Amino acid sequence: MNVEGFAAPGFDAVRDAFVANLESRDDIGAGVAVFHRGKLVVDLTGGWRDNAGTIPYTPDTLQLVFSTTKGVVATAVAMCVERGLFDYDDLVSHVWPNFAQAGKGDVTVAQLLSHQAALYTVDGPLEFDNVLDWNEMVTRLAATAPRFAPGSAHAYHALTFGWLAGELVRLTDGRNIGRFVQEEIASPLGVEAYIGLPEHLEPRVAPVNTGWAKPKDQSVAPTESKAGKFATPLVDDSPLTQALTLNGAMNVKGGFNRRDLHAAEVPGANCITNARSMATMYAATMGEVDVDGTPVRLVSQEAIERAHTPQVPSRRDGVLLVNTALRWGTC
C-alpha cells in the first residue's frame, strides 16, 4: 500500500488498523492523525483519491469533512464566548434581533448550539443555489417557525447548525465564519482548514466517492462503502430527510464535489481540511500545541469545560430517531 507518514512507538496498532482498512477496500483513500499529551504521535495518509486507483492520497491531499465542521464552528463560538462577545445563557435574539420571529424570542444560545432550537430545516421551498447564499440562509432561518417547542427536545441540526452558530460569530466579532476560522484557528496553529475554499486549492481536494467499483468477479467484491449507503437520494418528508437535504435542496448529484459548494460557507458540513490539521485543532482546545517552538492553545480549560456542560440528557433525537448515547453540550 502507498502509505506515508509515521506512527510513534506504542502506536503501531493504529498503523496496522489503518493499512488493514485500505487493504480491505473499506476505504479508497484516507488520513489519520492522533495527538497524545500535546504531541503528534500518528500522522498517516494512504490509498487513492480516485476510484480508478491512479491518484495517490498523499499528505498534501485536502478532504471535505462533513459534520466535523461543526466542531470547528463550535470552537469559534467558544472563543467568542471566552472573549465576552456573548454568552451561552444569552437569548439568541439579543445578538440576532431578527431571530425572534415566529416565536423564537426565548431561545438561548445554549439551546441553539445543543440542537434544541427546532430549526433543522427552513420553511418553504429551497434550491441548491440558496444553500450557497449566506444571507439567504440566515434570513430564512430567522423567519422559520420551530418544528417543536424550543428547549423541549433535541433534533440534530445536520446542516443548519453552521449558519445558526456562524451568524452569532459574524454579528458579534464582525468576521464571517470562514475568515474567523482562518485568522483565529488555522493560522495560529499553522494548519489548513477552509470554510470557503480558495479556488487555487481545488486541485488538491479528494472527491467524495461512494466506494470502489465492483470487479467483474463478484466473488472478490469489496466491502460496501459506508458512503455508498447514502448514495440513493432521500426523498420522503421525514425530519431526517428535511435535515440532511434541506427539503430536497441538497438532492443534487455530486453536490458535495462541486466547486461552488466548496467555495461557499456551509459551516454545518463543508470544511475542507486534512486529518493532521483537524487533530491539531482539537488538541489545541484541550491543551497547548507546539507551533514552531511557540505553545498555542485556542481556549482555556475553563472555557472548554463550560462548552462541554451537558444541556440535555441522553434521549431520543427527533431527527436521527435513535436514543443518543451522549448528553448534548454546546460543542
Per-residue pLDDT tens digits for 228-242: 333 344 557 899 999
pLDDT number for residue 307: 77
pLDDT number for residue 328: 53
Reported as a single tens digit per residue, the pLDDT across 75-106 is 999 999 999 999 999 999 999 999 999 999 99
Domain membership of residue 322 (yes or no) is no
- Residue 99 has which C-alpha cell? 431571530
Same domain, 30 and 161: no
Mean pLDDT, residues 113-140:
96
Domain membership of residue 163 (yes or no) is yes
Same domain, 223 and 282: yes
Q: pTM for the complete prediction?
A: 0.90
Reported as a single tens digit per residue, the pLDDT across 175-184 is 999 999 999 9
| pLDDT of residue 61 exceeding 60 | yes
Same domain, 156 and 299: yes
Domain membership of residue 329 (yes or no) is no
Same domain, 133 and 241: yes
Give me the residues paired with residue 48 across strands. Answer: 56
> In whole angstroms, how far apart are CA 135 and each of 82, 132, 167, 315?
26, 9, 10, 33
Q: In what order do the strands lie in the sheet with 4-7?
A: 4-7, 39-47, 29-36
Same domain, 254 and 180: yes
Domain boundary among 9, 42, 59: 59
> Which residues are CB-contacts of 83 (< 8 A; sequence separation ≥ 6)?
none
Domain membership of residue 317 (yes or no) is no
Domain boundary among 10, 44, 59: 59
pLDDT number for residue 261: 98
| pLDDT of residue 108 exceeding 60 | yes
Q: Using a pLDDT cut of 70, give the percent of the chain over it.
A: 88
What range does the domain containing 93 cover? 61-308
DSSP code, position 8: -
Same domain, 170 and 252: yes
Mean pLDDT, residues 37-49:
96
Taking a C-beta distance cutoff of 8 angstroms, is the pair 171, 95 a contact?
Answer: yes
Domain membership of residue 323 (yes or no) is no
Domain boundary among 19, 39, 59: 59
| pLDDT of residue 315 exceeding 50 | yes
Domain membership of residue 192 (yes or no) is yes
How many domains, in total, are found in the chain?
Answer: 2
Q: Using a pLDDT cut of 90, give the percent of the chain over it.
A: 79
Same domain, 190 and 135: yes
Domain membership of residue 331 (yes or no) is no
Same domain, 175 and 289: yes
CB crowding 132-157: b at 16 or more within 10 Å, else e: bebebbbebbbebebbeebbebbbbb
pLDDT number for residue 281: 97
Q: Which long-range contacts (CB under 8 A, 24 or more apart) does 108-112 make?
A: 108/151, 109/168, 109/330, 110/311, 110/330, 111/150, 111/151, 111/311, 112/164, 112/165, 112/168
pLDDT number for residue 11: 98
Q: Which residue has the cell 467484491?
A: 221
Reported as a single tens digit per residue, the pLDDT across 196-229 is 999 999 999 999 986 676 555 444 444 443 333 3
pLDDT number for residue 51: 85
Same domain, 22 and 148: no
CATH of the domain at 270: 3.40.710.10
Q: Which residue has the cell 428535511?
A: 242
pLDDT number for residue 222: 41
Domain membership of residue 207 (yes or no) is yes
Mean pLDDT, residues 293-311:
87
Same domain, 55 and 68: no
Same domain, 37 and 74: no
Same domain, 22 and 153: no
pLDDT number for residue 39: 94
Mean pLDDT, residues 284-312:
89
